[in-house]
Amino acid sequence: MADFPNYRYDTGLGNVGSYQTSGKPFVTGTLNAHIMAGGVHKVSFPSVTRWIYVTNHSTTDTCRIGFSEHGVADGTNFFRLGPTLNPSAAPSSQRLELKVTELYLSGSNSVDVVAGLTGISNSRIANISPSGSNWSGSAGIG
């Protein structure tokens, strides 16, 4: 009897259908990511994201946003979202079409994160860096 290949289809990072459907909602609000002794606030998503929005409600502090602790705390691999001048219209990032499992924030005491999640398990992104992070920030990806 011959061995037959297993053609089991499973979702993964290259699965187009996972990004064509609406994302499962993920919301976390009023996060305190104010930098204290180099602290960074980590947001862990339950599955791989399809898109992300970040809103900074602080009237005085700029929020640093990156994809690794190293990139935000020690490096230059982050982007900034400035403070709000009008609390009823706080600045938000553009819709970030990114497939990530974690987001790192620092510098603001009032941040909201909204994301659309795929059905792709976090285990589908291999932890390949020495730090154990998906993208360590040490190679230009923060």
Enclosing domain of residue 77: 21-122
Q: Is residue 32 part of a domain?
A: yes
Q: Is residue 46 part of a domain?
A: yes
Q: Where are the beta strands (DSSP E) in the chain?
A: 24-31, 41-44, 49-56, 63-66, 79-81, 102-106, 111-117
Q: Is residue 51 part of a domain?
A: yes
Residue 135 near residue 104, CB atoms below 8 Å: no
Burial status of residue 109 (CB atoms within 10 A of its CB: 0-12, 13-18, 19 or more): middle
Q: Is residue 29 part of a domain?
A: yes
Q: Is residue 25 part of a domain?
A: yes
Can you give the pLDDT of all 142 residues of the chain as single tens digits?
A: 566 666 666 677 777 888 788 889 999 988 888 766 567 899 999 999 999 999 998 888 889 999 888 888 877 889 999 888 876 777 788 899 988 889 999 989 889 999 999 988 888 776 555 455 555 445 555 4
Residues ≥6 apart with Cβ < 8 Å to 121: 11, 47, 48
Neighbour order of strands in the sheet with 41-44: 41-44, 102-106, 63-66, 79-81
Q: Is residue 1 part of a domain?
A: no
Q: For the domain that residue 75 is a member of, what is the CATH number? A: 2.60.120.770
Domain count, the chain: 1
Quick one: tokens of 100? Answer: 């990530």
Residue 108 near residue 58, CB atoms below 8 Å: yes
Q: Is residue 70 part of a domain?
A: yes
Q: Is residue 3 part of a domain?
A: no
Query: For residue 72, what is the enclosing H or E element?
Result: helix 69-73
3-class secondary structure, 115 = strand
Q: What is the pTM of this model?
A: 0.80
